[in-house]
Homo-oligomer: A and B are copies of this chain.
Amino acid sequence: MASENSEVKILGAWASPFVMRPRIALHLKSVEYDFIEENLITKSELLLKSNPVHKKIPVLLHNDKPVCESNVIVQYIDEAFSSGSSIFPSDPYDRAIHRFWAAYIDDKWFPIMMAASRADTPEAKATAIDQLKEGLLLLEDAFIKLSNGKPFFGGDDVGFVDIAFGSYLGWVRASEQMGCTKLIDESTTPSLATWADNFCGHEAVKDVMPETDKLVEFALTMIPKFKEAAAAAAAAST
Protein backbone atom coordinates (compact mmCIF):
# COMPACT_ATOMS: atom_id res chain seq x y z
CA MET A 1 0.00 0.00 0.00
CA ALA A 2 1.36 3.41 -0.92
CA SER A 3 2.33 5.61 1.98
CA GLU A 4 -0.22 8.33 2.51
CA ASN A 5 2.16 10.63 4.40
CA SER A 6 4.08 11.59 1.38
CA GLU A 7 5.07 14.17 -1.18
CA VAL A 8 2.73 14.63 -4.12
CA LYS A 9 3.34 16.71 -7.24
CA ILE A 10 1.38 17.22 -10.42
CA LEU A 11 3.12 18.23 -13.66
CA GLY A 12 0.51 19.98 -15.73
CA ALA A 13 -0.88 23.05 -17.45
CA TRP A 14 -3.82 25.11 -16.23
CA ALA A 15 -5.83 24.91 -19.47
CA SER A 16 -5.69 21.12 -19.90
CA PRO A 17 -8.88 19.19 -19.09
CA PHE A 18 -6.76 16.10 -18.47
CA VAL A 19 -4.69 17.87 -15.82
CA MET A 20 -7.85 18.95 -13.99
CA ARG A 21 -8.73 15.31 -13.36
CA PRO A 22 -6.00 14.35 -10.88
CA ARG A 23 -6.21 17.79 -9.25
CA ILE A 24 -9.93 17.33 -8.57
CA ALA A 25 -9.27 13.80 -7.29
CA LEU A 26 -6.59 15.08 -4.90
CA HIS A 27 -8.94 17.82 -3.68
CA LEU A 28 -11.66 15.22 -3.03
CA LYS A 29 -9.14 13.25 -0.96
CA SER A 30 -7.84 16.40 0.82
CA VAL A 31 -4.30 15.57 -0.29
CA GLU A 32 -1.90 18.52 -0.47
CA TYR A 33 0.27 18.69 -3.59
CA ASP A 34 2.59 20.95 -5.52
CA PHE A 35 1.35 21.97 -8.95
CA ILE A 36 4.19 22.44 -11.43
CA GLU A 37 3.14 24.34 -14.55
CA GLU A 38 4.87 22.85 -17.61
CA ASN A 39 6.01 24.74 -20.68
CA LEU A 40 4.37 22.62 -23.36
CA ILE A 41 6.64 23.85 -26.15
CA THR A 42 10.00 23.13 -24.52
CA LYS A 43 8.92 20.44 -21.97
CA SER A 44 10.99 19.97 -18.81
CA GLU A 45 13.54 17.24 -18.22
CA LEU A 46 11.38 16.09 -15.31
CA LEU A 47 8.38 15.60 -17.62
CA LEU A 48 10.41 13.76 -20.28
CA LYS A 49 11.99 11.53 -17.63
CA SER A 50 8.70 10.88 -15.84
CA ASN A 51 6.63 10.06 -18.91
CA PRO A 52 9.12 8.83 -21.55
CA VAL A 53 6.47 6.90 -23.50
CA HIS A 54 3.98 9.71 -24.18
CA LYS A 55 5.95 12.81 -23.06
CA LYS A 56 2.62 14.34 -22.02
CA ILE A 57 0.91 15.92 -19.05
CA PRO A 58 -0.50 15.18 -16.55
CA VAL A 59 2.04 13.26 -14.50
CA LEU A 60 1.53 12.55 -10.81
CA LEU A 61 4.70 12.16 -8.78
CA HIS A 62 4.12 10.35 -5.49
CA ASN A 63 7.37 10.29 -3.53
CA ASP A 64 9.07 10.76 -6.91
CA LYS A 65 7.37 7.70 -8.46
CA PRO A 66 5.50 8.75 -11.62
CA VAL A 67 1.97 7.78 -12.65
CA CYS A 68 0.81 8.85 -16.13
CA GLU A 69 -2.49 9.02 -18.06
CA SER A 70 -5.24 11.06 -16.40
CA ASN A 71 -7.79 8.30 -15.74
CA VAL A 72 -5.07 5.93 -14.53
CA ILE A 73 -3.92 8.64 -12.12
CA VAL A 74 -7.46 9.24 -10.81
CA GLN A 75 -7.89 5.52 -10.11
CA TYR A 76 -4.48 5.46 -8.43
CA ILE A 77 -5.40 8.40 -6.20
CA ASP A 78 -8.64 6.69 -5.19
CA GLU A 79 -6.80 3.48 -4.29
CA ALA A 80 -3.68 4.99 -2.69
CA PHE A 81 -5.36 7.60 -0.43
CA SER A 82 -8.11 6.50 1.91
CA SER A 83 -8.93 10.03 3.07
CA GLY A 84 -12.03 11.83 1.73
CA SER A 85 -14.87 10.31 -0.21
CA SER A 86 -14.43 7.34 -2.51
CA ILE A 87 -14.28 8.30 -6.20
CA PHE A 88 -15.62 4.91 -7.30
CA PRO A 89 -18.78 3.14 -6.13
CA SER A 90 -18.18 0.14 -3.85
CA ASP A 91 -20.16 -2.38 -5.93
CA PRO A 92 -18.19 -4.07 -8.77
CA TYR A 93 -21.10 -3.79 -11.21
CA ASP A 94 -21.53 -0.07 -10.50
CA ARG A 95 -17.77 0.41 -10.91
CA ALA A 96 -17.93 -1.30 -14.31
CA ILE A 97 -20.75 1.00 -15.43
CA HIS A 98 -18.78 4.08 -14.32
CA ARG A 99 -15.67 2.83 -16.18
CA PHE A 100 -17.83 2.22 -19.28
CA TRP A 101 -19.10 5.80 -19.38
CA ALA A 102 -15.69 7.32 -18.64
CA ALA A 103 -14.32 5.33 -21.60
CA TYR A 104 -17.24 6.45 -23.79
CA ILE A 105 -16.53 10.10 -22.95
CA ASP A 106 -12.82 9.88 -23.89
CA ASP A 107 -12.98 7.39 -26.77
CA LYS A 108 -16.17 8.52 -28.54
CA TRP A 109 -17.47 11.87 -27.33
CA PHE A 110 -14.22 13.83 -27.01
CA PRO A 111 -12.92 12.87 -30.51
CA ILE A 112 -16.17 14.29 -31.95
CA MET A 113 -15.61 17.52 -29.99
CA MET A 114 -12.12 17.71 -31.49
CA ALA A 115 -13.54 17.01 -34.97
CA ALA A 116 -16.06 19.85 -34.47
CA SER A 117 -13.31 22.28 -33.47
CA ARG A 118 -11.13 21.30 -36.45
CA ALA A 119 -13.87 21.07 -39.10
CA ASP A 120 -12.89 23.13 -42.14
CA THR A 121 -16.31 23.25 -43.83
CA PRO A 122 -19.72 24.32 -42.43
CA GLU A 123 -21.11 20.88 -43.41
CA ALA A 124 -18.40 18.99 -41.51
CA LYS A 125 -18.95 21.23 -38.48
CA ALA A 126 -22.74 20.72 -38.59
CA THR A 127 -22.30 16.92 -38.79
CA ALA A 128 -19.93 16.91 -35.82
CA ILE A 129 -22.24 19.15 -33.77
CA ASP A 130 -25.17 16.79 -34.48
CA GLN A 131 -23.07 13.84 -33.32
CA LEU A 132 -21.97 15.74 -30.20
CA LYS A 133 -25.61 16.42 -29.33
CA GLU A 134 -26.55 12.77 -29.88
CA GLY A 135 -23.77 11.87 -27.46
CA LEU A 136 -25.09 14.40 -24.94
CA LEU A 137 -28.53 12.77 -25.09
CA LEU A 138 -26.88 9.43 -24.23
CA LEU A 139 -25.04 11.11 -21.35
CA GLU A 140 -28.27 12.78 -20.14
CA ASP A 141 -29.84 9.33 -19.99
CA ALA A 142 -26.77 7.88 -18.26
CA PHE A 143 -26.83 10.71 -15.72
CA ILE A 144 -30.48 10.04 -14.83
CA LYS A 145 -29.74 6.34 -14.26
CA LEU A 146 -26.42 6.73 -12.40
CA SER A 147 -27.27 9.74 -10.24
CA ASN A 148 -30.60 8.26 -9.08
CA GLY A 149 -32.02 11.69 -8.24
CA LYS A 150 -28.81 12.95 -6.63
CA PRO A 151 -26.64 15.84 -7.91
CA PHE A 152 -23.74 13.88 -9.46
CA PHE A 153 -23.04 10.86 -11.66
CA GLY A 154 -21.34 9.57 -8.50
CA GLY A 155 -24.49 10.23 -6.41
CA ASP A 156 -24.08 12.55 -3.45
CA ASP A 157 -20.54 13.53 -4.41
CA VAL A 158 -18.33 13.92 -7.47
CA GLY A 159 -17.19 10.53 -8.82
CA PHE A 160 -15.19 9.05 -11.70
CA VAL A 161 -17.65 9.92 -14.49
CA ASP A 162 -18.16 13.43 -13.10
CA ILE A 163 -14.39 14.00 -13.25
CA ALA A 164 -14.03 12.44 -16.73
CA PHE A 165 -16.86 14.47 -18.29
CA GLY A 166 -16.73 17.57 -16.11
CA SER A 167 -13.10 18.22 -17.00
CA TYR A 168 -14.26 19.13 -20.52
CA LEU A 169 -16.85 21.68 -19.35
CA GLY A 170 -14.45 24.62 -19.49
CA TRP A 171 -13.74 23.95 -23.15
CA VAL A 172 -17.42 23.26 -23.89
CA ARG A 173 -18.24 26.73 -22.53
CA ALA A 174 -15.30 28.31 -24.38
CA SER A 175 -16.50 26.70 -27.64
CA GLU A 176 -20.00 28.08 -27.03
CA GLN A 177 -18.53 31.55 -26.41
CA MET A 178 -16.49 31.35 -29.63
CA GLY A 179 -19.67 30.98 -31.67
CA CYS A 180 -20.45 27.29 -31.47
CA THR A 181 -24.08 26.38 -30.87
CA LYS A 182 -25.16 25.88 -27.23
CA LEU A 183 -24.21 22.27 -26.46
CA ILE A 184 -25.53 21.61 -22.94
CA ASP A 185 -28.82 23.48 -22.63
CA GLU A 186 -31.85 23.37 -20.37
CA SER A 187 -34.30 22.33 -23.08
CA THR A 188 -32.61 19.23 -24.55
CA THR A 189 -30.40 18.02 -21.68
CA PRO A 190 -31.88 19.64 -18.54
CA SER A 191 -30.28 17.22 -16.10
CA LEU A 192 -26.80 17.75 -17.57
CA ALA A 193 -27.32 21.53 -17.51
CA THR A 194 -28.05 21.42 -13.75
CA TRP A 195 -25.23 18.92 -13.19
CA ALA A 196 -22.74 21.16 -15.03
CA ASP A 197 -23.54 24.06 -12.68
CA ASN A 198 -23.28 21.80 -9.62
CA PHE A 199 -19.97 20.36 -10.83
CA CYS A 200 -18.35 23.70 -11.64
CA GLY A 201 -19.41 25.10 -8.24
CA HIS A 202 -18.15 22.11 -6.22
CA GLU A 203 -15.45 22.85 -3.63
CA ALA A 204 -13.05 20.33 -5.22
CA VAL A 205 -13.54 21.80 -8.70
CA LYS A 206 -14.09 25.55 -8.60
CA ASP A 207 -10.46 26.54 -8.01
CA VAL A 208 -9.16 24.49 -10.96
CA MET A 209 -11.97 25.09 -13.47
CA PRO A 210 -10.56 27.78 -15.79
CA GLU A 211 -12.58 30.91 -16.50
CA THR A 212 -14.21 30.76 -19.91
CA ASP A 213 -12.72 34.11 -21.01
CA LYS A 214 -9.21 32.88 -20.21
CA LEU A 215 -9.72 29.69 -22.23
CA VAL A 216 -11.01 31.68 -25.20
CA GLU A 217 -7.92 33.93 -25.03
CA PHE A 218 -5.72 30.83 -24.76
CA ALA A 219 -7.42 29.27 -27.80
CA LEU A 220 -6.89 32.40 -29.87
CA THR A 221 -3.28 33.11 -28.86
CA MET A 222 -1.51 29.96 -27.66
CA ILE A 223 -2.96 27.14 -29.77
CA PRO A 224 -1.61 28.64 -33.05
CA LYS A 225 1.84 28.77 -31.37
CA PHE A 226 1.64 25.07 -30.41
CA LYS A 227 0.69 24.23 -34.00
CA GLU A 228 3.65 26.25 -35.31
CA ALA A 229 6.02 24.52 -32.88
CA ALA A 230 4.66 21.07 -33.85
CA ALA A 231 5.01 21.89 -37.56
CA ALA A 232 8.57 23.13 -37.03
CA ALA A 233 9.46 19.97 -35.10
CA ALA A 234 7.95 17.79 -37.84
CA ALA A 235 9.84 19.70 -40.54
CA ALA A 236 13.11 19.38 -38.59
CA SER A 237 12.73 15.61 -38.29
CA THR A 238 12.19 14.93 -42.01
Q: Does any Cβ of B come within 8 Å of A161's Cβ?
A: no
Q: Does any Cβ of B come within 8 Å of A14's Cβ?
A: no
Which of the segments A67-75, A186-194, A201-209 contacts the partner chain? A67-75
| CB neighbours of A80 from chain B (8 A) | 92-93
Q: Does any Cβ of B come within 8 Å of A231's Cβ?
A: no
CB < 8 Å: which of B2, B75, B92, B104 contacts A76? B92
| CB neighbours of A93 from chain B (8 A) | 2, 62, 65, 67, 76, 80
CB < 8 Å: which of B53, B75, B91, B138 contacts A96? B75
Contact with B along A91-105 (1 / 0, CB 8 A): 111011101100110
Contact at A67–B53, with CB atoms within 8 Å? no
Q: How many copies of the polypeptide does the oligomer hold?
A: 2
Contact with B along A123-137 (1 / 0, CB 8 A): 000000000000000
Contact at B62–A76, with CB atoms within 8 Å? no
| CB neighbours of A1 from chain B (8 A) | 91-92
Contact at B95–A79, with CB atoms within 8 Å? yes
Residue in A1, A62, A99 with the greatest tally of chain B CB atoms within 10 Å: A99
Supposing A72-B99, A99-B72 touch, asked if A53 and B92 sit within 8 A by C-beta, the answer is no
CB < 8 Å: which of B2, B73, B95 contacts A91? B2
Contact at A100–B138, with CB atoms within 8 Å? no
Instruction: Report the minimum CB–CB distance from A31 to chain B (whole Å).
Output: 13
Contact with B along A22-45 (1 / 0, CB 8 A): 000000000000000000000000
Q: How far is the CA of A120 from the CA of B139 in the complex (A)?
A: 38
Contact at A67–B2, with CB atoms within 8 Å? no
Contact at B2–A100, with CB atoms within 8 Å? no
Known pairs A2-B92, A53-B104; list 19 more (Cβ under 8 Å). Answer: A1-B91, A2-B93, A53-B138, A62-B93, A65-B93, A67-B97, A67-B100, A69-B100, A72-B99, A73-B96, A75-B95, A75-B96, A75-B99, A76-B92, A76-B95, A76-B96, A79-B92, A79-B96, A80-B93
